[in-house]
Every structure is written in C-alpha cells, then in structure tokens.
C-alpha cells in the first residue's frame, strides 16, 4: 500500500519513496474534489455532519499526506524528492485556492452558522453546535469574506485585479532589494583598513575578491560580510561607506534607478487601501487585524506608544552611556549611525566579557533534554518517555506524552542535529492534529459539557496529536569510547525550549474540532505566546542548576557566569526596544493614515522617528525602501506582533514567578486555559481566563532589565 494513503496511525516513513508522491497526491485531490462537489450539490439542509465533517475528512487526508512530503523534503532532501515535491506544488496550491473561493461551500457554512444562532440557548436541539464548532465556522466564514467572496461581480473583478497587481509589486519590491544588495561590492586594497576585523571575516573577504579575480579584500552587503564590518572595523571611513550603501539600497539614492522602490511602496500602499475599501473596511490595518488578537489599529498604536514611552528613558540612558564610552575610550567626538554597532560591541566586551564557548561546555545534550523534560513534567503534570516509531533518519528520536495516570495524550519526533540535505533553522510542525472521529451529535445538555474546551459529547474516539520538532544543533562527535556528547550553546537551548513551547500547544490541546485544535485557528499575533513563554525558563537559576553539567568537570553552571549572561542579555535593551517599536509604528501608520496624494513614506518615517527614536539618523537613510517584512512579505500591519506576543508571554510567565516558576497549580491553569484551548476561543479570552485580567506590559520591561521606579 502507498504509505501516503495509509492513515491508520503514525506515518510510515520506511516504505516512502519519491515515486509514490504523484499517484498518492493525485488520488487524494481527486477524492477531495469529488467530495466537495457532492457536498455542494446535496439538497439536504446543510449541517455540521453533512458538510463540515466530510470536507474536514478529505482535506485532512490531503494535508497529512502533503505535510509528510513537505517534511521529508525539508529534512532529508534529495533531487528526486525535490522534483516530486515541486512537480505537485502547483496542483496543491490550485486546489486550496479553488476551495477558498468556492461560493456554494461558503453559502452552506453561512447557513449552518446562522441556524445555530436561532435556537433557544437553554434547549439546544439535536445538532446544536459546540462553541469550538462555532468558532471554527466563524474563522472559515471570515476567510471567505476576506478573500472577496461576498463582493458583487464587478467588485470581485476589481478585487482580483488589485490582488494580482499587489503580488507582482511585492515580488518586485523584494527583487529590487535583492538586486541592489547583490550588486554592491567594495574592494579594500590597503591592509590597514582591515584593522579590528576578526580573522575569519578577513579571510572570507579575501576569498570574495579572489573569486572575482581581484587582489585585496571584497566586502558586500550580505549579512556575513556587512555585519562584521559594522561591528568590528576600527576605521570609520570603511564603516561609513558600507553603512551608506546599505541604507540607500533600492532607493532613489541607490546605485540604479531601476531598483528604486519609491514608486513601488506608494503603489503597494494605494492598492492595499483600495482592497480594504472594497471589502468594506476603513483601511488596510483593519483587514490585517480581522484575523488577529488585537482588535483595532488604535489599540495597536496605543500599545506601541505606551511601550515607547516606558522604554524611552532606558533607551536614552543606553544612548548616553554609549556616547560617554565612545568619547572616553574610543576617541569619538560624536557617535554616528555607522558607529553605533562598533562602539556598542566595544562597550559590551568591556562590561560582560565571557565566551559562548565556555558556556557551551555546561550544556551537554542529555542534561539539557532532561532539564527541559523536568520543567515540562513539573508544571504540566505530564510524563514524557522515549518510545518507538518509524523515522526518516537514524538520529531521530520519538517520545510519548502521557497524563499522570498513563493515558496517552500525544507523541512527538525530535530531529535535533544539523546534517547535509536538511533545511536550516528550527521549527515545529504538525504531523497529526487532534480531533474526535466518528462522534455522533448526541449533545445531551448544554454546550461545553465535556469539560474545558467546548467540545461536543464523548462518543467516537480521539485521534491523538503528533508533532515534528526540528532543530539544527551540532551532533555528537567521535564514536565508541571517544564519543563526545553534543554540546549546545545557550542560544541553542533557548531555541529548543521555544520550539517545545509550540509543540506543547499542539500536543496538550483538548479540542475535538480539526479547524481549531492545537495551533490551528490561533490568532497570528498570539501564536508565539506558548513558545516565547518557554524561553523564560532558560534564564532561571533554579532551572539551570538542574540543566547544566560541565562536560569534563561535571559541575553545574557557576553563579558568576550566570550573572554575566543575564547582564549581557539586557545590554542596550532600551535602544533595541525602541528600534522595534519605531518599525512597528511606521508599519501601522503607513496602513492606517497614509494619504497617497499628499504623503511620502519618507516623511512618514521622519515623523515616527521624531516621535520615538533616540539615535539620530543621517538624512540619507532610506530604511523603508528595504523593509521587506512589510512591503515584500506577510507582516503588513503586523510587525507589532513581535512585541505583542512578547508582552503576552512575559506576563504569563510572571504568573509563574509569583507562585514559584515550577508551580504545578499555575502550570495546570496555563495548560487548561491556554494550551488546551488552542484556537477554540479568542486568545484574549484564554489569556484573561488564565491571568484574571488583560495583559500588562511591565513584565516584559522588567524581564529586559527595564524596571520602572515605583
């Protein structure tokens, strides 16, 4: 049997081969299309059972099979698999696009949702929907609307035309930045100009020049070449030259008029505003927030302004300290924008010198994993144990997550080491999502009767969630007696906790409906709550005591080193905060009150800087022209999400600080009100249910060393 068509349990990795992709996916798409057609053509009055369940069934199968292909393509890539993947990608994309524009289906979803509103609240009839089901339908209906499904025929055509032009322009924006970045190269001939640069950066520059058949050293605007110059090059002229090239990329001051993003930005903002108007919103920020936790652009702007006001005194202090240090120790009369990274690095070294490599010796893999599991088991009352399953590589580990009484809750794969043909970075992905299968709608009481998650009755059986957790840490070296365990940097440890937080959101869900179980249906600006929350434990002395063990001496992390790590973490936190807030405000204002006739993005950027920035930007700075998150990516009116989610996670963690960070009662409440609920209700409701109030920003400031005087 084709393993991609076998949904009887865990994925059958051992019998997978790339040649099986096409037949399986084609069959699943054909099945799905047929089911969609049957469902849409049926004359019976639409219900959850005769519409949503069959659509969920077929799309889940396709999603699971394609998810397995995508996962393998990322972690054990090969030419044959890549071809098989790319070969099917357009067909898959087309299927999802058509489904999201299927008006007959949209009409049925609306009918089911409307009929659930008309029944009397105290006497739910047979077929009454649970709150999770309502939430799931509301999400579907919202996405149909945002896709233009309710527009008149003429408006639909305009909307489509706007979308197409937008996607072309966003791609053009990215191409311009990329071309402008790639085109730049600066050759240094005088060795004296290299003073201060680390050896590896000098060697890389020599190789770049040699590759061009030139003598000397070549520097580019790619991060591995640009960053060391800004951070370490002692000569100011080289830093200034590189800085100027970097911040004028893709602008009218850049190397080539064809790469100037000025008009592209203007048109993108104009089109986004136009699409918002067509959908009946005041501006594009409202469209973006429709699927997010933040409710209105004003709420976001107020949030950012408050953060700016509170972090500003600390940023001013950082800035003054940097200037004083530069005058006293670096002979700089003035700190220019191109001196900031250089002077900061010198100050950081002077204050908190310690080596990442020294820290790493305290974090051997087994000790770290045991430390992570100890935290998770203590606060959530679960048991994690090694288990067996088919995998895609010999280094992959597999675990069961059980409740205290031994009941299986979920399972996960750990693929921790970097290797050839594996995509870089770290991420969590769903392999199987929790849902109740075969349950009849025998709801015999009020909704929410099955406990915490707004599920329907208890019939049928539960499909347990399964997660992939993928990282790229160094593998153990040597073999046999000479085997040296994998050592993780502190950053690696934080990454592991972060991804595990996403994993727990997926695994500890108690929701029965596919569309809103685990991380499905969670608002975009709340998704990072459970993951960033977990990072906090990596900065906790009591946790680190049990999670560190020097690879040679066996000693736990010394307190003095820990204190330095904490101090270095908060170095210039005020300035970094303010910089992120400046970008987020620019993004939000550009998508609410930008007037295409009278405004320019530069004037807007200038206003925002005037309001929040402490560092003086040179007049030639054209940062918006390379702001890819917002003009070339998915963060339009969404850049604030980084800080937003950090506030949520810091405040959630503060609840643990108040009761003891491994407090099981607080953990049980977090599990019940946040993790278990997944996307089945608004994230704000879950947060308030856990914390007893709305989020407060003080905790994030405090965690970053910005404690306000009382």
d(CA 261, CA 279): 27
What are the phi and psi torsion angles at 473 (to 5°)? Answer: -90, 160
> How do beta strands 217-219 and 382-386 pair?
unpaired
Q: How far is the CB of 503 from Zn ion (least distance, A)?
A: 11
- Tokens standing for 551? 């690879």
HSE-CB at 166 with a 13 A cutoff on CA atoms is 21
Which span sits near Zn ion by CB under 5 A: 50-58, 213-221, 247-255, 531-539? 531-539
In the complex, what is the shortest distance from the CB of residue 426 to Zn ion, in angstroms, rounded to a whole number?
9
The DSSP output letter for 47 is: -
Using CB under 5 A as the binding rule, whether residue 531 contacts Zn ion is answered as: yes
- Phi and psi for 402 in degrees, rounded to 5? -120, 155
Q: Of residues 82-121, which lie at the interface with Zn ion (CB under 5 A)? A: none
In a 13 Å sphere around the CA of 688, the CA atoms on its Cβ side amount to: 8
Phi, psi of 219 (to 5 degrees): -115, 140
Minimum separation from the CB atom of position 528 to Zn ion (A):
5
From CA 623, how far away is CA 643, in angstroms rounded? 20
Q: Nearer Cβ to Zn ion, position 531 or 680?
A: 531
Closer by beta carbon to Zn ion, 21 or else 467: 467
Position with the least CB separation from Zn ion: 531
Q: How many residues does the chain have?
A: 710
Nearer to Zn ion, 136 or 531 (CB): 531
Span from 23-31, 530-538, 607-615, 664-672 in contact with Zn ion (CB under 5 A): 530-538
Handedness of CA 53, 59, 65, 67 (dihedral sign): negative
Beta partners for residue 34, in sequence order: none
| Contact of 371 with 497, CB cutoff 8 Å | no
- The least distance separating Zn ion from the CB of residue 499, rounded to whole angstroms, comes to 7
Please give the DSSP secondary-structure letter assigned to residue 671. Answer: I
According to DSSP, residue 50 is labeled I
544 in Cβ contact with 538 (< 8 Å): yes
Q: Interacting stretch for Zn ion, rule CB under 5 A, among 62-70, 245-253, 378-386, 525-533?
A: 525-533
Q: How many CB atoms lie within 10 A of CB 599?
A: 16
Q: Which is nearer to Zn ion, 181 or 506 (CB)?
A: 506
Which one of the spans 286-294, 460-468, 524-532, 670-678 is the region binding Zn ion (CB under 5 A)? 524-532
Report yes or no: 410 and 401 within 8 Å, Cβ to Cβ.
yes
Smallest separation (angstroms) from Zn ion to the CB of 532: 7
Nearer to Zn ion, 508 or 549 (CB): 508
Size of the site for Zn ion (CB under 5 A): 1
State the nearest-atom distance from the C-beta of 478 to Zn ion, in Å: 33
Window of 349-357, 527-535, 560-568, 600-608 that interacts with Zn ion by CB under 5 A: 527-535
The stretch near Zn ion (CB under 5 A) out of 57-65, 68-76, 529-537, 578-586 is: 529-537
CB closer to Zn ion out of 533 and 670: 533
Instruction: Return the CA Rg of the chain.
Output: 27
Nearer to Zn ion, 443 or 641 (CB): 641
Of 39 and 469, nearer to Zn ion (C-beta) is 469
DSSP string, 655-669: HHHHH-TT-HHHHHH
Beta carbon nearer to Zn ion, 517 or 531: 531
Q: How many CA atoms lie within 13 A of 247 on its CB side?
A: 16
The SS3 call for residue 385 is: strand
Give the residue with the Cβ less far from Zn ion, 261 or 531.
531
Helix axes 365-380, 490-507, angle to 10 degrees: 40
Min. distance of Cβ 391 from Zn ion in angstroms? 23
The answer to whether 499 is a known catalytic residue is: yes
Query: Any idea which residue has 């499909």 for tokens?
Result: 463
- Beta-bridged to residue 410, according to DSSP, are 401
Could you give the CA distance from residue 565 to residue 687 in angstroms, rounded to a whole number? 30
Give the nearest distance from C-beta 427 to Zn ion in angstroms.
8
Residue 700, token pair as written in the block: 């994030």
Q: Minimum distance between the CB of residue 511 and Zn ion, rounded to whole angstroms?
A: 20
- Point out which span in 166-174, 179-187, 385-393, 523-531 binds Zn ion (CB under 5 A): 523-531
Options 140, 499, 582, 646, the catalytic residue: 499
Among the listed residues 393, 411, 499, 496, the one whose alpha carbon sits nearest the alpha carbon of residue 75: 393
**How buried is 85 (Cβ within 10 angstroms: 0-12 exposed, 13-18 middle, 19+ buried)?**
buried
Report how far residue 96's alpha carbon sits from residue 29's, in angstroms, rounded to the nearest whole number: 10
CB of 508 to Zn ion, least distance (A): 16
Active site residues: 499
Task: Give contact residues for Zn ion (rule: CB under 5 A).
Answer: 531
């Amino acid at each position: 049997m084709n393993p991609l068509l076998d949904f009887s349990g865990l994925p059958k990795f051992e019998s997978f081969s790339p040649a099986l992709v096409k037949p399986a996916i084609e069959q699943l798409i054909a099945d799905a299309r047929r089911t969609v057609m049957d469902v849409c053509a049926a004359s019976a009055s639409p219900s959850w059972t005769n519409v949503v369940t069959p659509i969920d069934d077929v799309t889940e199968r396709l999603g699971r099979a394609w998810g397995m292909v995508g996962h393998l393509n990322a972690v054990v890539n090969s030419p044959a698999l890549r071809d098989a993947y790319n070969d099917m990608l357009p067909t898959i994309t087309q299927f999802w696009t058509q489904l999201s524009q299927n008006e007959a289906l949209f009409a049925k979803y609306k009918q089911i949702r409307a009929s659930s509103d008309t029944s009397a609240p105290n006497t739910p009839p047979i077929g009454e929907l649970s709150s999770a089901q309502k939430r799931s339908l509301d999400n579907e209906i919202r996405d149909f609307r945002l896709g233009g499904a309710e527009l008149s025929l003429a408006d639909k055509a305009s909307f489509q035309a706007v979308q197409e032009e937008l996607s072309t322009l966003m791609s053009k924006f990215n191409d311009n930045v990329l071309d402008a970045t790639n085109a730049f190269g600066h050759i240094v001939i005088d060795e004296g100009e290299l003073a201060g640069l680390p050896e590896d950066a000098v060697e890389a520059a020599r190789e770049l020049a040699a590759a061009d058949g030139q003598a000397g050293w070549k520097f580019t605007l790619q991060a591995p070449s640009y960053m060391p110059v800004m951070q370490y090059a002692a000569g100011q002229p080289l830093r200034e030259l590189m800085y100027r090239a970097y911040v004028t990329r893709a602008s009218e001051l850049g190397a080539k008029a064809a790469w100037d993003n000025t008009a592209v930005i203007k048109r993108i903002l104009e089109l986004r505003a136009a699409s918002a108007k067509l959908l009946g919103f005041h501006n594009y920020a409202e469209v973006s927030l429709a699927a997010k936790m933040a409710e209105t652009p004003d709420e976001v702007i107020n949030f950012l302004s408050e953060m700016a006001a509170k972090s500003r005194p600390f940023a001013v202090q950082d800035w003054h300290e940097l200037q004083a240090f530069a005058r006293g120790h670096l002979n700089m009369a003035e700190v220019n924008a191109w001196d900031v990274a250089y002077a900061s690095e010198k100050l950081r070294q002077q204050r908190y010198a310690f080596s990442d490599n020294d820290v790493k010796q305290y974090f051997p893999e087994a000790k770290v994993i045991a430390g992570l599991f100890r935290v998770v088991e203590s606060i959530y009352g679960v048991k994690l144990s090694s288990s067996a399953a088919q995998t895609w590589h010999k280094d992959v580990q597999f675990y069961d997550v059980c409740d205290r009484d031994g009941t299986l809750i979920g399972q996960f794969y750990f693929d921790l080491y970097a290797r050839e043909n594996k995509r870089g970075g770290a991420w969590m992905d769903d392999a199987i999502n929790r849902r109740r299968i075969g349950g009849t709608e025998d709801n015999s009481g009020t909704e929410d009767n099955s406990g915490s998650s707004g599920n329907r009755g208890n019939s049928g059986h539960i499909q347990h969630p399964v997660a992939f957790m993928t990282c790229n840490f160094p593998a153990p070296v040597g073999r046999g007696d000479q085997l040296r365990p994998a050592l993780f940097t502190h950053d690696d440890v934080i990454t592991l906790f972060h991804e595990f937080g996403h994993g727990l959101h997926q695994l500890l869900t108690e929701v029965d409906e596919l569309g809103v179980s685990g991380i499905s249906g969670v608002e975009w600006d709340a998704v990072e709550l459970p993951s960033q929350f977990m990072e906090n434990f990596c900065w906790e002395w009591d946790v680190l005591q049990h999670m560190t063990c020097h690879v040679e001496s066996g000693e736990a992390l010394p307190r003095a080193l820990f204190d330095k790590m904490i101090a270095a973490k908060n170095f210039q936190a005020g300035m970094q905060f303010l910089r992120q807030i400046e970008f987020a405000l620019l993004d939000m204002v550009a998508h609410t009150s930008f007037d295409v006739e009278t405004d320019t993005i530069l004037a807007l950027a200038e206003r925002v800087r005037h309001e929040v920035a402490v560092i003086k930007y040179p007049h030639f700075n054209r940062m918006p022209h390379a702001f890819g998150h917002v003009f070339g990516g998915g963060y339009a009116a969404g850049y604030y999400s980084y800080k937003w989610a950090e506030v949520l996670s810091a405040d959630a963690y503060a609840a643990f600080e108040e009761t003891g960070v491994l407090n099981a009662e607080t953990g049980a409440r977090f599990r019940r009100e946040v993790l278990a609920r997944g996307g089945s209700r608004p994230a704000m409701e879950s947060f308030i249910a856990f914390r007893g109030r709305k989020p407060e920003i003080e905790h994030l400031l405090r965690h970053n060393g910005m404690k306000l005087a009382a």
